[in-house]
Amino acid sequence: MGLPNGNRAVVDIKKLRDYCLNPHHEDGKHKARVFAAALGLGRVDAKWLRERLLEAAASEPAFVASQTRLAFSNPRMILKLGIVSNAR
């Protein structure tokens, strides 16, 4: 199953650069550490990461993170990203 309306996804470049990839952001520094350690990505890679995320949202399979017997307990869709540390 693909991400519903994945071709209309929005990825804010500022949020990636200034939060998710910023090792000095009070809350985002932990995410930035994971992106750096796992994928070798830093703030300068925000544009590249945004492009990969938009491509994945439009074309890659996605799955529901969790659900109960009666309803989705967390209605987030998770994309399977084909990003590896030497992908750039």
Tokens standing for residue 36: 């750096």
The answer as to whether 25 is a domain residue is: yes
Asked whether the beta carbons of 45 and 13 are under 8 A apart, the reply is no
Q: Read off the amino acid at residue 43.
A: R
In this structure, of 4-8, 52-56, 68-72, the range with the lowest mean pLDDT score is 68-72
How many domains, in total, are found in the chain? Answer: 1
Q: Encode pLDDT of 9-66 as tens digits.
A: 899 999 999 999 999 999 999 999 999 998 899 999 999 999 988 988 888 877 666 6
The answer as to whether 49 is a domain residue is: yes
The reported pLDDT for the residue numbered 60 is 82
The answer as to whether 86 is a domain residue is: no
The answer as to whether 87 is a domain residue is: no
Q: Encode pLDDT of 30-43 as tens digits.
A: 999 999 998 899 99
